[in-house]
């Protein structure tokens, strides 16, 4: 009787099917909450109760192309009923109203057109709330414009100057896939390296830089692998591609290019990492962006062995990309936060009438009344004067005898104090 019931309910087939579904979860690392998803449950119920003999689940390409487009169209259709009421009823942003408008300073999104449009709606509805593009997303877009330049008519100059970066990245991806896509080659690499070759999703910020950094970290292990006896004896794959991989990994010029990419993008990547945290950094962004551009220029000019007075076509392209991205994303809020930092408040105070006269005259330079400046020294005074262009028209020269009008000082214009000198050096004193 039990055997007959088992046949009637096809218990064995059910058990096999359960096992396959469980393995799908385990091998793909799917969260167990997926089992509660109504669409997951409905898909299996529909397959079991429908007459779809020979049915196969959607393929990889179908899921990422046709079916994805169909689902997008389906969602747009569902949203039409809500969108049709916007003109008559308006749009309510519940989160801001719940938190309270006075408690909200800004709304941060990425730079997609739809997000920008939403930001404009927020600013119109709440004039005291700023929409701010995400700095991390802006930096990532700048890296993509440089490291993965598109070959379009409007982007000809950038593509011509940056194409070599895309070629280096493409060859790195080819090498990574060649090693990782076959278990034997992957096992061979694992023998030589404790670190893995990273497969970084393109949706992650600075994905190409992260991949090249890992290549640099395992450079010696990769080279050891391709000159090993195991690599030479293994013939069960594309021999021609294996030869190309070996040539690339042993090519010093290729590794020099990888190193150069990592060096000139390091200031951009470092700023991205600083901004991609929970720590407040709004007040730092304005200054960091300028400093980052200067550092990138220095690396490029050092690599090309050029002085600041010479032209660099590659730098011009990189600079245009960075400045264009910054001009599109910087807001009044960035400028305000930057100006309110203590160091900049000090500079702003110099523009007040009280700074040029009275007891607080030039309070941050050398004392209220410019008494004896023995503890500062003439080079110290000159260095302080470089902080403020207006002070470059004054000569600080104490005659030491107290003669002449009160606060009588004259100007010494110092072009550069980059080289440290001894203030007691008689030659320096004579020259000053």
- pLDDT tens string 59-83: 888 888 999 999 999 988 988 887 7
In the chain, how long is the greatest CA-to-CA distance?
Answer: 123
Q: What is the pLDDT of residue 93?
A: 63
Instruction: Say whether pLDDT at 370 is over 70.
Output: no
Per the structure block, which two tokens stand in for 290?
């300028």
Decide: residue 274, CB within 10 A, 0-12 exposed, 13-18 middle, 19+ buried: middle
Per the structure block, which two tokens stand in for 185?
């080659």
| Residue 110 CA, distance from chain mean position | 12
Cα–Cα distance for residue pair 208/220, rounded to 1 Å: 20
Distances (CA, A) of 242 to 178, 179, 232: 8, 9, 9
Note the pLDDT tens digit of each residue in 207-239. Answer: 889 999 999 999 999 999 999 988 888 766 678
Distances (CA, A) of 81 to 91, 146, 183, 249: 13, 42, 52, 57
Task: Give me the percent of the chain exceeding a pLDDT of 90.
Answer: 32
Domain boundaries, the chain: 2-49, 92-132, 146-334, 355-431
Q: State mean pLDDT over 40-57.
A: 87
Cα–Cα distance for residue pair 291/326, rounded to 1 Å: 13
More confident residue, 28 or 201: 28
Q: Where are the alpha helices (DSSP H) in 57-155?
A: 60-64, 66-83, 86-89, 94-99, 113-125, 135-147
Q: What is the pLDDT of residue 364?
A: 63
**Range of lowest pLDDT (84-88, 134-138, 291-295, 353-357):** 84-88
Q: Of 382, 387, 290, nearest to 334 (Cα)?
A: 290
Cα–Cα distance for residue pair 303/265, rounded to 1 Å: 13
Buried b (16+ CB within 10 A) or exposed e, 393-428: ebebebeeeeeeeeeebeebeeeeeeeeeeeeeeee
Residue-averaged pLDDT of the chain? 79
pLDDT range class, residue 262, cuts 50, 70, 90: very high
Cα–Cα distance for residue pair 212/198, rounded to 1 Å: 9
Q: State mean pLDDT over 155-180.
A: 93
pLDDT range class, residue 328, cuts 50, 70, 90: confident
Computed on alpha carbons and rounded to an integer, the radius of gyration of the chain in Å comes to 33
More confident residue, 328 or 85: 328
Decide: residue 207, CB within 10 A, 0-12 exposed, 13-18 middle, 19+ buried: buried
Q: Is 131 helix (H, G, I), strand (E, B) or coil?
A: strand
Which residues does 172 contact at the CB level (< 8 Å), separation at least 6? 211, 212, 215, 258
Q: What is the pLDDT of residue 335?
A: 80
Cα–Cα distance for residue pair 261/255, rounded to 1 Å: 10
Instruction: Say whether pLDDT at 385 is over 80.
Output: no
**Range of lowest pLDDT (168-172, 224-228, 346-350, 367-371):** 367-371
Note the pLDDT tens digit of each residue in 269-324. Answer: 999 999 888 788 888 888 899 999 999 999 999 999 999 889 999 999 999 999 99
More confident residue, 4 or 138: 138
pLDDT range class, residue 4, cuts 50, 70, 90: low
More confident residue, 300 or 89: 300
Question: Residue 367 — left, alpha, or beta (φ > 0 → left; ψ -120 to 50 → alpha)?
Answer: left
Q: What is the pLDDT of residue 171?
A: 94
Q: What is the pLDDT of residue 175?
A: 93
Contact criterion met (CB below 8 Å) for 332 and 130: yes
Q: What is the end-to-end Cα distance of the chain in Å, rounded?
A: 112
More confident residue, 393 or 337: 337
Decide: residue 79, CB within 10 A, 0-12 exposed, 13-18 middle, 19+ buried: exposed
More confident residue, 116 or 165: 165
């Amino acid at each position: 009787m039990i055997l007959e019931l088992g046949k009637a309910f096809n218990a064995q087939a059910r058990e096999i099917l359960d096992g396959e579904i469980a393995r799908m979860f385990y091998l793909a690392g799917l969260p167990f909450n997926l089992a509660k998803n109504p669409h997951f449950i409905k898909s299996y119920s529909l397959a079991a109760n429908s007459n779809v003999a020979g049915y196969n689940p959607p393929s990889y390409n179908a899921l990422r192309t046709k079916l994805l487009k169909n689902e997008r169209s389906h969602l747009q259709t569902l949203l039409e009923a809500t969108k049709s009421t916007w003109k008559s009823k308006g749009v309510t942003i519940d989160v801001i109203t719940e938190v309270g408008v006075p408690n909200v300073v800004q709304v941060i999104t990425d730079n997609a057109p739809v997000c920008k449009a939403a930001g404009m709606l927020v600013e119109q509805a709440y004039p005291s709330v700023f929409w701010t593009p995400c700095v991390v997303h802006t930096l990532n877009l700048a890296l993509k414009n440089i490291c993965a330049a598109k070959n379009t008519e409007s982007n000809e100059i950038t593509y011509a100057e940056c194409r070599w970066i895309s070629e280096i990245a493409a060859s790195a991806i080819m090498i990574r896939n060649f090693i990782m896509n076959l278990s034997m080659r992957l096992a061979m690499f694992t023998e030589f390296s404790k670190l893995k070759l990273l497969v970084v999703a393109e949706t992650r910020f600075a994905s190409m830089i992260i991949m090249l950094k890992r290549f640099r970290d395992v450079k010696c292990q990769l080279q050891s692998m391709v000159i090993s006896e195991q690599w030479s004896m293994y013939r069960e794959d594309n021999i021609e591609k294996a030869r190309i991989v070996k040539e690339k990994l042993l090519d010093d010029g290729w590794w020099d290019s990888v190193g150069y990419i990592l060096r000139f993008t390091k200031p951009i990547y470092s700023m991205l990492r600083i901004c991609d945290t929970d720590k407040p950094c709004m007040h730092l962004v304005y200054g960091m962006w300028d400093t980052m551009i200067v550092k990138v220029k220095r690396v490029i000019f050092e690599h090309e062995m050029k002085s600041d007075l010479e032209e660099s076509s590659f730098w011009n392209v990189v600079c245009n990309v960075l400045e264009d991205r910054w001009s599109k994303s910087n807001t009044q809020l960035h400028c305000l936060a930057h100006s309110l930092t203590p160091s900049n408040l000090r500079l702003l105070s110099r523009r007040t009438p009280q700074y040029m006269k009275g007891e607080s005259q030039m309070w941050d330079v050398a004392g209220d009344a410019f008494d004896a400046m023995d503890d500062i020294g003439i080079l110290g005074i000159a260095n302080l004067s470089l902080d403020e262009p207006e002070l470059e028209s004054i000569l600080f020269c104490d005659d030491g005898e107290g003669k002449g009008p009160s606060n009588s000082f004259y100007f010494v214009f110092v072009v550069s104090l980059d080289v440290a000198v001894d203030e007691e050096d008689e030659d320096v004193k004579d020259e000053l």
